[in-house]
Structure 1
Amino acid sequence: MGLTDKEKLYISNESNTVITLIKEFKNIAKFTILIALAGIPLVFLPLGKEFDHFYLPKVVAMFILVFSFLSLFILNFKNVGKIIENDWIDKSLLIYFFLLIISVFFADNFYLAIFGSVDRLEGIITISMYMILFLIARYCSKTNDKFYLIILLTAILVSIYGIFQHFGLDPFIRDAIRTNWGYRSFSTMGNPNFLGTYLVLMIPISIYFFIIRKLKTGLLFYSILLYCLLCTSTRGSWLGSIASMVSFSSLHYYFYKIKKDELNRYIILLFLSIIIVLLYDFQTQGELLNRFLSITNDARILLTNGENSDYTGAHRGFIWKRVVELIKNRPIFGYGIENLGITFEKYYQKDMIGLWGNVINVDRAHNEYLHIAVSSGIPSLIAYLTFLTLILKNGLCKIRHDKYMLLLISSIIGYLVAAFFNISVVSVVYVYWIFLGLIATKVIN
């Protein structure tokens, strides 16, 4: 027996109500992501020399956002559907998460693996929040220029503060760790390396607005971001930014073909970059050039395993060689999240005293890929790299129909290059995870 007209109308109204509710929640997801990208970078609390000004406030802000969204989502789950897609991107993420969970039970210090250290706060709970933000970003409604412009304006504020620090103008009280830090900018990120990584993610947005959207203010924004990046004096981030810029122009050429007026803007961008670099190098009496040239020298020494390789890359050579040995000793599940500091001291205390004269807390491998392998095992690293590969493939498949993929993929490539020399940290890495989610979204703009 068929449905009556009244029953068909009821079903139709119910269906329309569900569709409307889903759209509303996708907009809520988009708003949540915008707050995370535009609000959290500005969160820091300079309350005293012993208080964590940077990491704890950002973790708390992140938790509030994630908890608020999930609470609303769970209460309306029956109508708004699922947040996890049945595809290989989310499957690989779940595999990676599962391997991280297993590694927790192999950790020497279970508490650190769960909650993270006081200085880092990046245990499995915080990593889970990154992943949830990724899923929310996949779920959110389509973005637009206004969305990215708001994010860029936040980056400008962060950069201006960083530039002020470079010139010795810091209106906020510094904590005990940063009291005697010199001219290197760290802004609201808490460390020059972390500020540099954040700027690597932001610079392609400014390039997008200048090259693609033809906004002259995009060139001004780019200049501020680039100058602040130089002020961090972070070589890994410099390489990451170069990689992001080259990626942007290469993807633009391959998928869209660069028009004559766009080529002219690229030339302007190049000449402006040279001027800013030369200006900064002159201002710092050649320090920039010397520091940049040291990259090739350090790489040569490290690759040839010279007698000074322990001193390369701010002692990264010393750390990397020993982390590789640790990975060989426990390749499957690693030593546990946030447990490298304990492990490194246990096995290499004498080596540290021989190099530095005392024991240093080497709690990071200063290479994200090595750090994942030593913390949660080689299978975990493989799952993570598979996850990244699937996302980038997804983004490249959509790039002809969605120009935002230009800036997002370029930002991610820059981050992945910088990650060879840097570490995951709560003040920046959530931006990276959200960008991954925006690339992986199934919405075509």
Structure 2
Amino acid sequence: MAKYIIFASIFLTPLIFNFSTRELFEFPKMIVIYVISLIAFSYMMISHSHVQKGGERFSIMKPLTALLALNVLSTVFSLDVNTSVFGYYTRFNGGLISLFSYTMLAYFSLTFLLKRDVAESAFWLSLSSMISGLYAIAQHLGIDKDFWVQDSQARAFSTLGQPNWLAAYLLMTLPIPLYFLLVSVKRPARIFYFLTTLITFCGIWFTYSLSGFLGLILLPILILVFFNKTLLKRNSKVIVILITAALLIAISQPGIFSARLKSAFKIIANRLTVVASEQAPSQEPSQIDTSLIRLVVWKGAAKLFASSLKTALIGTGPETFAYAFLPFRPLELNQTTEWDFLYNKAHNYYLDLLTGTGILGVIGYFWFVFAVIKLYRKASAREKLAAPLFIGWLTLPVTNFFGWPVVATSLLFFIFPALLAVLGSDDEKTTTSPRKSFGVKLGALVLFVVTIKAISNIFLADTDFSKASSLSKQGYFSQANLKFSTAAAKNPVEPTYHREYAFNLVQEALSSPDENEQIRLGSTAIVQAETAYRLNPVNSLTLKSLLRTYYGLAKIDPVFEKEVEEYAKRVTALAPSEPKTFYDSALILSYLDKNKEAILYAKKALLLKPDYTEAEDLLVKLSPTDKTKER
């Protein structure tokens, strides 16, 4: 029974997505992890048969527990505890609960899995990655090109949700079917694993992910270093066939890599031309190359890390980058194509880790990494299967340099070391502890029921919120508010639900001809708006939404104009380098005939982004005489 819990986690998690939730991919996967880890914990509570504890296989738990403890410390002093506990809304992975869940599954694997179960786990993982790879191939062929908002044919994302996420996941799994191909003797098994390996490669390639491409370059090197040399020599013919097939696919299907190469050559040529002609620098603001945008974000993240001793030591809290980054957001971003983006990640996991959990969190992370390397050395001396598991695990710290882990990759990041520990251990003896008392079993059952109810509420709240958002877009404000209300009731600690409920209540009030109904809806909107702000006063999205909400209330009753001015001050103070935030504040204040204040905000927007046409037009509209004189 125990091993099937782990099999289910590694097989199902990457494949799960749901159309009824607001976030289709990561959120359902996170819910699955919550449920499976709860089942694992409950099973552990009532089971009396397990591998003898305290042996060398459990040595990995020391750095893992330290990593968990350091994340708890950062969460206690977090910029927003709710976000650090549950994860950033729409991302979810990386919160304290997710870390507890992964740790639980790793410990469960150490407690119940035997060596023979590791190969079976690897098989289910290979099968899951093959299914994801097949869907990616189908997307590349255009099976659902008209279904998604994103161009799935140009860059496949399969069941993971984003091309980079799919590439990172498949890179972790690719060495495993390759290993089984090399060790299999029977022809049907060799054909199956050959196809699985090739399909997984195609899945990575058709993402046209730069980090995936770099991973594919790194992978053969790691295989040559860590795979058994005799095994590679014995299968040299099939390896050549596999490499040839992969190269033919890559050359015949270059995808957007072809355009990227042309663009790169064009940029280099343009720069050489500028240098050769000794052209004077333009006085007009220039766009920063897209390839350099990440460096600008990293610069801001570095400033955030160095902003205080507390941040340097324990960070601002897991998953709080979106809030903490804003005061340190570099002005250079305003001259890029992503000038109006909200960054909830640093696009470098190590900077996310450094800003979120500080130096202590980074030390804990790398203690775990080095412990896994030590585990591999011990496991590889006993089992050849250790090599593909270790190589797959090692690809994530590499791809994390340009991205961040998601649910599917995070799960493997914690499960693979547990599997290595099982392979490298001598303690295979199964021991039987005294049967658990009725009280313990009853307690486990009650805890399971209560927790599964809480998880269900989190899931159902999001489905209600998704339905409400859809109804609101169609103008069915009354029906939408019923769903917003149930979402906020089922998950009262999520500020997103309260802020959107507040805004939608105001929309319904504005569309109602009944003055008493307007007052009733407005009163409820105020309660929801205040709740959203109380739950997370550092979320710029919440403050922007509340600014629009109070603007709507001010249209009903001018007494709320003061709140509009107050929230304009709050949101611009929170995001001092975002030109769009200043422009939006100016626009709303101009609608209320607060022209003096609106001009100040519009000027600030133009100062932050001199080529901001909309801000300049608004400034001309608000002060035509002054602007004419300036020109």
State the TM-score bracket (shorter-chain normalisation). 0.7 to 0.9
Identity of aligned residues (%): 22
Which of 56, 70, 88 aligns to 2:41? It is 70
1:322 corresponds to which letter in structure 2?
G
1:205 alignment partner in structure 2? 176
**Matched residue, 1:138:** 110
The aligned counterpart of 1:96 is 67
Task: Give, in whole Å, the separation in 1 of the partners of 2:3 and 2:262.
Answer: 44
Matched, 1:41 2:41: no
Does the C-alpha gap of structure 1 residues 277 and 242 become closer, same or farther in structure 2, counting only changes over 3 Å? same
Q: How far apart are the structure 2 equivalents of 1:351 and 1:245?
A: 38
Partner of 2:329: 348
Aligned pair in 2 of structure 1 residues 213, 180: CA closer, same or farther (>3 Å)?
Answer: closer
Quick one: higher RCO (CA 8 Å, sep 6+), 1 or 2?
1
Distance in 2 (alpha carbons) for counterparts of 1:162 and 1:439: 29
CA distance in structure 2 between the partners assigned to 1:83 and 1:173 by the alignment: 51
Match status 1:243 vs 2:218 = yes
| Structure-2 change in CA distance of 1:103 and 1:129 (3 Å) | same
Note if contact 2:145-2:152 (Cα within 8 Å) is conserved in structure 1: no
Which residue identity does 2:224 align to in structure 1? Answer: S
Which stretch of the first structure deviates more once superposed, 412-421 or 165-174? 165-174
Task: Label 1:349 to 1:110 Cα distance change in 2 as closer, same or farther (>3 A).
Answer: farther
RMSD of aligned Cα (Å): 3.1
Aligned to 2:236: 263
Question: Matched residues in 2 for 1:292 and 1:267: separation?
Answer: 31
Could you tell me which amino acid in structure 2 is paired with residue 420 of structure 1?
F
Q: Which moved more, 1:182-191 or 1:134-143?
A: 134-143
User: Counterpart in 1 of 2:293?
Assistant: 315
Pick aligned residue for 1:111 from 82, 86, 96: 82
Q: Which amino acid aligns with 2:70?
A: L
TM-score by length of 2: 0.58
1:156 is the counterpart of 2:130: yes
SS at match of 2:371: helix
Question: Structure 1 residue 422: deviation in Å?
Answer: 1.4
Query: What amino acid is the match of 1:388?
Result: V
1:195 to 156, 162, 166: 166
Which residue does 2:364 correspond to in 1? Answer: 383
Per-residue deviation, 1:319: 1.5
1:274 CA drift (Å): 1.7
Aligned in 2, Cα 1:162/1:430: closer, same or farther, shift over 3 Å? same
SS at match of 1:428: helix
What displacement does 1:402 show?
Answer: 0.7
Compute the displacement of 1:436 (Å).
Answer: 2.1
Shift of the 170–36 alpha-carbon distance from structure 1 to 2, 3 Å rule, reads same
Q: Distance in 2 between matches of 1:333 and 1:186?
A: 34
* C-alpha distance in 1 between matches for 2:233 and 2:336: 55
Is the radius of gyration larger for structure 1 or structure 2? 2
Residues 132 and 309 of structure 1: is their aligned pair in 2 closer, same or farther, counting only changes over 3 Å?
A: farther
| Residues 152-301 of structure 1 mapped to structure 2, 5 A cutoff | 152-170=126-144, 174=148, 178-179=149-150, 183-213=154-184, 215-253=190-228, 256-258=229-231, 260-281=233-254, 286-287=258-259
- How many pairs were matched up? 399
Closer/same/farther in 2, CA of residues 314 and 55 from structure 1, 3 Å limit: farther
Name the stretch that deviates more: 81-90 or 242-251.
81-90
CA distance in structure 2 between the partners assigned to 1:293 and 1:65 by the alignment: 49
Moved over 6 A (4+): 81-86, 291-294, 307-310
* Distance of 1:430 and 1:272 partners within structure 2: 31
Q: Deviations over 1:82-106 (max 9, x none)?
A: 8786865221112111111111122
* AA of the residue aligned to 2:194: L
Distance in structure 2 (CA, Å) of the matches to 1:437 and 1:380: 21
Give the C-alpha shift of residue 356 in structure 1.
4.1
Relative to structure 1, the CA distance from residue 369 to residue 358 in structure 2 (aligned partners, 3 Å threshold; closer, same or farther) is closer
Contact 1:92 1:383 in 2 (8 A): yes
1:377-414, Cα deviation, whole Å (9 max, x unpaired) = 11211111111111121112221321110110110122
